[in-house]
Amino acid sequence: VRVQRRQLLAYLVTGLLVGLASCFVIAQGTSTLDQSVGSGKELAVIAAVVIGGTSIMGGRGSVLGTFLGALLVQSVTSGVTQLGWKSQLADLFVGIFIIIAVGTDLLRERARRAS
């Protein structure tokens, strides 16, 4: 396998998808198009991917998991406001979910290695 070419392609596709996402953000029609609209998104995205079961060490992960992870992050965020709690508390729950998701992963890994 030509490793370098594959890795280049991975970053290329990432850039492509970011471009696509930015089109969507524009289409969403936030009243002003701010240059800083995307900053701070990268950590939220990593959170969604990790919750979706992608290993941070590489080599494991799925599209469906990532989709569900993103869905979970978003529903936690809107759920917290629906419950009438302060919307800023949502980030706390995202953090807790990351811990739980990766924690179960670790436990499973440990159990597998023990057996």
Partner 1 sequence: MTAPTATPPASSQKDNGATTESTGARILRALLTQRIALLAVLVVVVVVWFFVLDAGGYLTAPYNFDYMSASLINAVPLAMLGLAELLVILSGRGGIDLSVGAIVSLAGMIFGFAYGEWGWGLIPAILLTAAFGALCGALNGFLVAYVGFPALIATLATFYGFKSLAIVVNNQSPISTPPIQNLFSITQSVEIPVIGANIPDVPLGLFTFLLPTVVVVWLLLARTTYGRRLYAVGTNDVAGRWAGIPVRGTRFKAYVYAGLISGLVAVVTVAQFASARPDAGVSGNGMALPAITIAVLGGVAITGGIGRVAGVVLATLLIVWLNAGILLAFIGNEGAQYQLLALGAVLIFAALLNGLTTRRYGGTR
Q: How many residues bind partner 1 (CB under 8 A)?
A: 23
Q: Considering the rule CB under 8 A, would residue 103 count as an interface residue with partner 1?
A: yes
Q: Which of 10, 99, 111, 114 binds partner 1 (CB under 8 A)?
A: 99
Nearer to partner 1, 4 or 20 (CB): 4
Q: Considering the rule CB under 8 A, would residue 4 count as an interface residue with partner 1?
A: no
Q: Which of residues 25-64 bind partner 1 (CB under 8 A)?
A: 36, 39-40, 43, 46-47, 50, 56-57
The CA–CA distances, whole Å, from 54 to 7, 35, 59 equal 17, 30, 8
Residue with tokens 């159990």: 111
- As a whole number of angstroms, the distance between CA 76 and CA 28 comes to 21
Q: Are 93 and 76 in contact (CB under 8 A)?
A: yes
- As a whole number of angstroms, the distance between CA 70 and CA 97 comes to 12
Q: Which residues sit at the interface with partner 1, rule CB under 8 A? A: 36, 39-40, 43, 46-47, 50, 56-57, 86, 88-92, 94-96, 98-99, 102-103, 106
